[in-house]
Amino acid sequence: MSASPKVVSMLRAKQKASEATMQLVETLRAQVVETLRERLNVMFDGADDLLFEFAERATNNQDRRLFFDTMRAVRLGRKNMATQFGDIYTASFGLPNVQGVSPVKPVEEQELSLQKDDALDLDIAVQNMATKAEGLYKTTLWDINGRLKSLIEDLYAPMSPDALAPATICLAFRKAAETLNIGHDVELVVFKLFDRLVISELADLYTKILNFLKLNGVRSSQAAMAPNRSGGGGGADEAPAANETVTGPSFGAPPPSFASAPLSGSSAPQPEFRAPVGLAASMMMSPSFDQQTLSSLQRLGASAPSHAGYSNASLAADLAAASQGQPIVGWSPRQTTAYVQRASLVGHMFNEFLADPHLPNSMRPQFDGLRMSTMKVALKDIAFVADPDHPVRGLINELATMASTAKVGGPMHMGRIAELVQQIQKQFDVAAETLRKPPPEIELIGTDQAERFIEQQMAQTAARRASIVKKVRRIIAEELQLRTRGTTISDEVRPLLNSLWAPMMAMHLLHHGPDSVEWKRGIASLDRVLAMLDPAQEELRGDAQVQGLRTELETAFKAVGLAEARVTAALNGFESTLKTIKSGNTAPDPVLDTLSSPPVNIHASTDPDAKENVTELLEQLVQPGSWFLIFDPDRGESRWMKAVAYYAGLDCAAFAEFNGSNTLLLKSRMLLEDLLARRTVPVDLGPTARAALDRYLARAA
């Protein structure tokens, strides 16, 4: 009987592991599998957003279609794939195989044969993922491998020494992905998702594995120094395992035997953002400005009139000169370094904003002008760099997010956000004169602190991208819900609307906005679809009209890269539904019915239903964190404020400035009157809230 070279317990002849060792191995395996499944679920849950982002960035329809196809394949196959992955990885762990599943072998151990180019590409993708993970977690894996060696050789644990290796995880995923029955190109995109959302997020898992082994007294057999670990200390096995310090998460404290508390139930690890290697060090140790920031400061500095006091332009000129090594009167070397450090980080922050392709071109000069005001806040207060919850820092990121989604709201919305940026800037602006001479003991910024700032901004950028996708999806979903209200949508028609029309309109909204020809053409197509579904409009369901709409939709869907097979299937379902519709009266549309009803003065109404409708309207409008141009009756002027809350029981709404100060309480009646008179204007309403407000204005006018 030949033994597998990977199962050491069989190599040890008849030596058997103790019951405690068997329990430890089984617990370890079960919790690693459970954690990987949780990570896979995170991948599946985040796949739509990531693939939508890929599709939005695609430069051609072929790539766009590929990402949409991958989205569909992942949705359909996630359950089976997760099950297969767990079974395959369990078999690779070295324990008795799952029935019908054999362990996967590393690529180098597979039989040598001529492979098709497609298979070779997949092999290379798997190897690249494994190599990347080996590099990311090198030190932790070194320690884990030493303890596994001791567990297998000294305690005869029945497991593979490669059970926890990244290559084993990647190969198990490769084999599980084969169950999707998808094309080579789609499979490569699935691997990309796995790489980004699973392999890049294994740090938490490996930390828990290491601490689990420590807590259960498994000592390392490694005698050499761990890679990348500084000298001066002994190897991992120089101190008794019982005295080892366990830092970070673990599977839980060890009970009397080798059993361990479960890992499942912990929150999914958040994505880690790492500053580019060496960037923070170069910015802090030899502080200077990147060319984009330097040019911005030089343009502002050149505008300073000689007779003016110390202005923004004067400070900008001094910062630009200081970054180039020129002495500034009243600034010591320490003060100069501190100022340039802080300003350079703010400059880097704004470069990220301006690099966003979704930022409207009309707002770019405005954001570049906001750079100087933000620099002054950082020069005055080190907390801007040190504290991610600093109110101005949070505000700037919020404004950047609003600006990046402004195009989705149309020109009027863009104009309101531009006005908001201009007005809010005045609320936190610091006088340049107060910064003319830096304090002598001004705090310098360390490399670690700068790295954290950059990484936090990278996380903000990722959140901003996710916010764009979320907002677009919400708008499309609400638009579809409003327009289909009162229409019976069969299961055969839903794929046409949800899987074809909605993604197409999302692309149009992102790239062109709601006032574009593309958007209006898409809305018109939807209206024609709904009109044909109306039983009362039999004359629209003639062969010529149906064929004309089909050709129009087919062309539009394919133009944005939607898969031809899906387009054909959905349109066939739509046509078959039309043939089953019988002529008759359609149900009244609640929206049209509301708008066509006689005008009602809601303020004077004693009807409980009318008051309840007003409450629902205000709950939709006054969402915490949303911006309003609010009329302040005490000041007799409008100012930009954020909604704090709507208190239905007190019949009032609360608003405040960006930092929570100067709270303004308005009675519901007064707020509604100001909305009716257009003295108060909400900045960013979705279609549902906008429709509710329009209905109120129509009834109350």
Q: Where are the domains of the chain?
A: 8-223, 303-467, 487-587, 591-700
Q: Which long-range contacts (CB under 8 A, 24 or more apart) does 4-13 make?
A: 6/94, 6/103, 6/160, 6/161, 6/162, 7/94, 7/158, 7/159, 7/160, 8/152, 8/153, 8/156, 8/157, 8/159, 8/160, 8/161, 9/94, 9/152, 9/156, 9/157, 9/158, 9/159, 10/158, 12/156
Cβ neighbours around 273 below 10 Å, total: 14
Contact of 546 with 537, CB cutoff 8 Å: no
- For 137-175, letters b (16+ CB in 10 Å) and e give beebbbbbbbbbebbbeebbbbbbbbbbbbbbbbbbbbb
Burial class of residue 52 (count of CB atoms within 10 Å of its CB; 0-12, 13-18, 19+): buried
Cβ(440)–Cβ(332) below 8 Å: yes
pLDDT tens-place string over residues 147-157: 888 888 888 88
**What are the residue ranges of helices labelled H in 198-238?**
203-215
Task: Report the alpha-carbon distance of residue 475 to residue 466 in Å, rounded.
Answer: 14
- β-pairing, 664-667 vs 637-647, is unpaired
Q: What's phi and psi for 664, nearest 5 deg?
A: -120, 125
Distance CA 32, CA 94 (A): 14
What type of residue is 190? Answer: V
First-to-last alpha carbon distance for the chain, in angstroms, is 90
**String of DSSP letters for 332-392:** -HHHHHHHHHHHHHHHHHHHHHHT-TTS-GGGHHHHHHHHHHHHHHHHH-THHHH-TT-HH
Question: Which pLDDT value is given to residue 1?
Answer: 42
pLDDT value for 572: 92
Residue 259: its pLDDT value, please? 39
Q: Is the CB of residue 203 less than 8 Å from the CB of residue 151?
A: no
Whole-angstrom distance, CA of residue 457 vs CA of residue 350 = 10
CB 408 within 8 A of CB 475: yes
* pLDDT score recorded for residue 547: 93
Query: Which amino acid would we find at residue 9?
Result: S
Q: Which amino acid is at 83?
A: T
**pLDDT at residue 247, as a whole number:** 55
Angle at 167 between CA 178 and CA 47, to 5 degrees: 50
Residue 343 has a pLDDT of 93
Q: Compute φ and ψ for 234, nearest 5 degrees.
A: -80, 175
Q: Do the Cβ atoms of 639 and 680 come closer than 8 Å? A: no
CATH of domain 591-700: 2.30.30
Query: Is 678:670 a contact under the CB 8 Å cutoff?
Result: no
Q: How far apart are CA 423 and CA 427, in angstroms?
A: 7
**Separation CA 310–CA 308 (nearest Å):** 7
**Burial class of residue 448 (count of CB atoms within 10 Å of its CB; 0-12, 13-18, 19+):** exposed
Angle, to 10 degrees, between the axis of helix 291-301 and the axis of helix 364-380? 90
pLDDT reported for residue 697: 81
Describe the crossing of helices 364-380 and 312-323 by its angle, rounded to 10 degrees. Answer: 80
Query: Facing residues of 646 across strands?
Result: 653
Location of structure tokens 């707020």 = 671
Residues whose CB is less than 8 angstroms from the CB of residue 62 and which lie 6 or more positions away in sequence, other chains included: 561
Identify the H or E element spanning 691: helix 687-700
Write out residues in the chain with pLDDT < 50, as ranges: 1-14, 97-116, 223-226, 228-243, 253-270, 585-612
Residue 434 confidence (pLDDT): 92
- Eight-state DSSP code of residue 324: T
Sequence-distant (≥ 6) Cβ neighbours of residue 279 within 8 angstroms? 454
Kindly state the tokens that stand for 205. 């898992």
pLDDT at 222 (0 to 100): 60
